[in-house]
Amino acid sequence: MSFVLYDGPDRSEELASLLKGENPAQLLDVEVLRAVGSLSLEYLVKEPAALKGLPLELISNAGSSECARLLLPDAQVVRVYFGRDTRPPFVIRQLLAESEQLFRVRSDSEVSFFVFAQLKSALPLRLTNRVLSTGMRPPQIANGLAQLMWDTPLSS
């Protein structure tokens, strides 16, 4: 979700040029976007049959990019991270760093799910079976959650 600041015709800028991306759109405050992302997750975990009833813990720590934890039926923990400022060309770099971090430090029962405000892809990007990213629109998050449910190997 983003807003385009438009000062009207006085600044001799046309609204069409702003929507085409000639001027960068300003994103909402990070806490507003985190709240929107969290509400989307909360809604999505209640609706589809595959996700209904799964425990979701919302995290409101403003200093962390982690915004929620979802417990899958096989006791795997999905850590949901929100990234407002990560531009699409840098998504892969961040996912690679997270994959390396998971490999070195965390347990095999953790999965990282990134929601990037600036990622526009309709389909989720799965770097490894433990690192997944998606855009912020509810259908994108729903696609990512569905892929998590179908593709995440069960812990042994």
pLDDT tens string 82-116: 888 888 889 999 999 999 988 888 677 889 999 99
Q: What is the CATH number of the domain that holds 123?
A: 3.40.1350
User: Does residue 15 have a pLDDT over 60?
Assistant: no
Q: How many structural domains is the chain composed of?
A: 1
- At what angle are helices 30-46 and 138-151 packed, to 10 degrees? 50
For the whole model, what pTM was predicted? 0.75
CA distance 145 to 51: 8
pLDDT tens digits, residue range 48-73? 666 777 888 988 776 778 888 998 87
CA distance 150 to 36: 25
**112 within 8 A of 98, measured Cβ to Cβ:** yes
Report yes or no on 6 lying in a domain.
no
CA distance 11 to 97: 42
Report yes or no on 130 lying in a domain.
yes
Report yes or no on 3 lying in a domain.
no
Take residue 155 and report the two structure tokens written for it. 């812990």
Report yes or no on 21 lying in a domain.
no
Q: Of all helices (H) and strands (E), which one includes residue 100?
A: helix 91-104
Take residue 128 and report the two structure tokens written for it. 């490894």
In Å, how far are 35, 44, 126 from 49, measured between CA atoms? 24, 10, 23
Instruction: Find the radius of gyration of the CA atoms of the chain.
Output: 17
pLDDT tens digits, residue range 134-153? 998 888 888 888 887 776 55
Report yes or no on 39 lying in a domain.
yes
CA distance 141 to 130: 16
Report yes or no on 105 lying in a domain.
yes
Task: Note down the domain range covering 55.
Answer: 28-151
Report yes or no on 40 lying in a domain.
yes
**112 within 8 A of 79, measured Cβ to Cβ:** yes
Report yes or no on 8 lying in a domain.
no
Q: What is the mean pLDDT of residues 30-50?
A: 78
